[in-house]
Chain A
Amino acid sequence: MPVDHKRINAPESAVPYKLFTKLNTESLKEQYQKAIRDGIRVDGRKPSEHRKIFLKTGIVAHAKGSAYIEQGNTKVVTSVFDPREIPNRTDYCLKGEIYCEFKFAPFSCPKRRLHQQDSQEKECSAIMKKALEAVVCREEFPNFQVDVYALVLHNDGSALSAAVTAAGVALASAGIPMFDIITSSTLAIQGEHSLFDPNFREELLSEIAIEKEHGVVILCVTSTHQQISHFHQTGNLQLNTITQSIDTLHNTCKEIVPVVQKCLVKSVLSVISES
């Protein structure tokens, strides 16, 4: 891992103080049982309940298109910039490219994030890129690339899903030709519990093997064509659980579409009233 010499980094041996708090003395099973009690989660939601979404376009003045999404406490800003020629490319390519950069702000997680992208952020960027490439008409801008930046201001779980949904809105508001609206949703599974739109703690606990079956599933869907533009899963799950989660996540993604449509209509109306 290359070290950033231009900034003052925290000492490598630093340990987050939260590890020494009382909560951490409990076993993982107890922690999970606290996270979901009698079918109700810590924030009062049912397992299949999605958090409320707030979506707004045009919040970065210098960007061609931008969007801000709030999903519970998760807050993400995405911005899209004008197509530009692909740097360091000599041969001609028929399809344009999308460059994605997904970044957690240093203060967005319980543990401090560095300014440089770490491997998790790189993985998220790659997932975002693949999800968005399927909805953008890339043959409309050959030899050019569109830059998409996502900055997570507060990570309270499902940050990648929020970023993909917001990036779809930002691309549309930037006037980039697109086939469809893209929405995304996350599911955290532990044993027989499946939690939609998990918060940070639920997401973290589902990545650890407390029961035999556990995992996190992310689905990105295009709304009119009903196609899976990207699917990502980690953990250890049976085939049945996965096929079921595809169906249920697909429905959740459909429910987000009206929010996105309303937001886009609003942004178009505001542009018309301005001119």
Chain B
Amino acid sequence: MLILSSEKTDNPARIERTYYLISENIRIDGREREDYRPMEIETDVVSHAFGSSRLRLANTDVLVAVKIEVDAPYPERPLEGKLEFFVDCSANATPEFEGRGGEELAVELSNCLSSAYRSEEVFNLKKLCIMKGRKCWKLYVDILLLEVGGNLFDAVSIAVKAALWNTQIPKIKSINVDGSNIDIQVCDDIFSCTKLDVTGAPLMVTVCKIGDKCIVDPNAAEEQCSVGAVVVAVSRGNICTISQTGTGSFHPDTFKSCLILGISVAQRLEDSLTETLGEIKANQDVGFLK
């Protein structure tokens, strides 16, 4: 978990108040334990990308862009396309990221994403195959952290899902095979594209344990109070990845209650995200900085 330098000096009275209030099911900013802070989401913000999104959750700001390239599939999985995640921790986000400071967090985030998207039940890579064993689409999902204000896993997973939802894959008109040479002709009309199926794309919920209660979407002060958190990636009501952040350990019963909370919150998050994405109209004119 990332603790910013300004939060390290948070005074003990405030921390104690956080503890007390959480046990009463109300938090410093007036939320209940299972509530999220308001978030803002935009799609199609980067014109050079095939799909993009920007999410702002309180002070956390994430920009995700998807680029597509033609590649050869892995020999052991000739029928599948490729999907790769890259996380970039810009030093703009927090001074701690300067140099190689953000590397550990970046690796943790991209590992968690790639293991969440690995199962075929979650995201079907077979749709990205162009020609068995020879050609496939490769999706590069680049995640740029613009500002870090806690709860990164949730924010990144929502932004990634929105960017993939927004992604347009070019239609293929014809494939000419001449020996080992493969020639692909893409449809001339740039607007006739296929959309990806992202109904199963996982959403990650970080469940933070404070005292003997669990909360979601912790703010900076709350992150400091908690010893550890469980990241639950949920896809269609099933769990596709569980990971832990921080260094604390959990009792099995607490751990199970974290999972139950994670699933129910993810379900609500999923519903509201689908609703929001449905409201977005094509070619809606929105600026990056509004």
Contact = CB atoms under 8 A, between A and B. Distances in A.
B242 interface: yes
A89 to B, nearest CB: 11
A211 to B, nearest CB: 9
B251 A227 contact: yes
Interface string A203-231: 00001110011110000001001111111
B120 interface: yes
B280 to A, nearest CB: 28
B249 A228 contact: yes
A116 interface: no
Interface in A36-95: none
A130 to B, nearest CB: 6
B239 A239 contact: yes
Q: Provide the main secondary structure of the chain B interface.
A: mixed
A226 B251 contact: yes
Contact of A246 (B76, B118, B121, B252): B252
Contacts of B237: 238
B256 A243 contact: yes
Interface stretch (B26-34, B55-63, B107-115, B164-172): B107-115
B52 interface: no
Contacts of A19: 75-76
B19 to A, nearest CB: 20
Interface in B237-274: 237-245, 247-252, 255-256, 259-260, 263
A35 interface: no
Nearest to A227: B249
B235 interface: yes
A247 interface: yes
A109 interface: no
B259 A250 contact: no
A236 interface: yes
A16 B77 CA distance: 12
B222 to A, nearest CB: 20
Interface stretch (A118-126, A152-160, A162-170, A255-263): A118-126
A122 B249 contact: no
A31 B259 CA distance: 32
A126 B111 contact: yes
Nearest to B240: A236
A208 B104 CA distance: 28
A114 B249 CA distance: 33
Interface residues of B, number: 36
A1 B230 CA distance: 29
A232 interface: yes
A214 B119 contact: yes
A242 B259 contact: yes
Contact of B121 (A15, A222, A228, A236): A236
A234 interface: yes
Nearest to B107: A122
A208 B251 contact: no
Given A228-B249, A231-B255, A236 B75 contact: no
Report which residue of A19, A209, A228, A243 has the largest number of chain B beta carbons within 10 angstroms of its beta carbon. A228
A231 B245 CA distance: 10
B122 interface: yes
Interface in A120-167: 122-123, 126, 130, 133-134
A24 to B, nearest CB: 9
Nearest to A24: B76
Interface of A: 15-16, 19, 119, 122-123, 126, 130, 133-134, 207-209, 212-215, 222, 225-239, 242-243, 246-247, 250
Given A134-B249, A232-B242, A235-B119, 20 more contacts: A119-B107, A119-B110, A119-B114, A126-B111, A130-B245, A209-B120, A226-B252, A228-B250, A228-B252, A228-B255, A229-B249, A232-B244, A233-B239, A234-B115, A235-B118, A236-B239, A237-B238, A237-B240, A238-B239, A246-B256
